[in-house]
Amino acid sequence: MEEYMLIFRHQDGNAVASPEQIQIWMKQTMDWIGGIAAQNKFVAGNGLPFADARVVRTKNSKPVVTNGPFGEIKETLGGYIVVKASSIDEAVEFAKGSPVLQGEGNSVEVRRIAKGDGIH
């Protein structure tokens, strides 16, 4: 059994949802994660809020720190979960059920977590 990270990408991180819509999405997400946990395949997860975020880039061979990510990008990372799966195909099946996919242009990236195997 391998571990896979499901990374949630939102097309428009600046779009503002109503508090009611956020509550609906949170319940849907918790129910979805609960279904994975019921199979004993949920490992961990976290949201990635925009507040207090910084981006470090190289400019003229020197690190430059900016507040962000904000308006300069259209796609933002909303969070991730780690699941146990027997194959990437099983992890993709988990990803297909994510409520994140209700948003037009949103995506869930599925990546196997390398555990000292030298794969980068």
Domains in the chain: boundaries? 42-108
Mean pLDDT of 27-41: 96
The predicted-structure confidence for 35-88, as pLDDT tens digits, reads as follows: 999 999 999 999 887 777 888 889 999 998 887 766 556 677 889 999 999 999
| pLDDT confidence of residue 12 | 65
| pLDDT at residue number 115 | 83
Amino acid 42: pLDDT: 97
Q: What is the pLDDT of residue 76?
A: 79
DSSP state, 52? T
CATH of domain 42-108: 3.30.70.1060
pLDDT the model gives residue 49? 78
* pLDDT attached to residue 14: 56
- Tell me what pLDDT residue 97 has: 96
For the cut 70, the answer to whether the pLDDT of residue 29 exceeds it is yes
Per-residue pLDDT, 103: 82
Query: One-letter amino acid identity for 96?
Result: K
- Kind and range of the H or E run holding 110: strand 107-112
For residue 27, the surrounding DSSP H or E stretch is helix 19-38
Select the more confidently predicted residue: 25 or 80: 80
* CA distances for 92 relative to 45, 64, 114, angstroms: 16, 36, 17
At 84, give phi and psi (nearest 5°). -95, 135
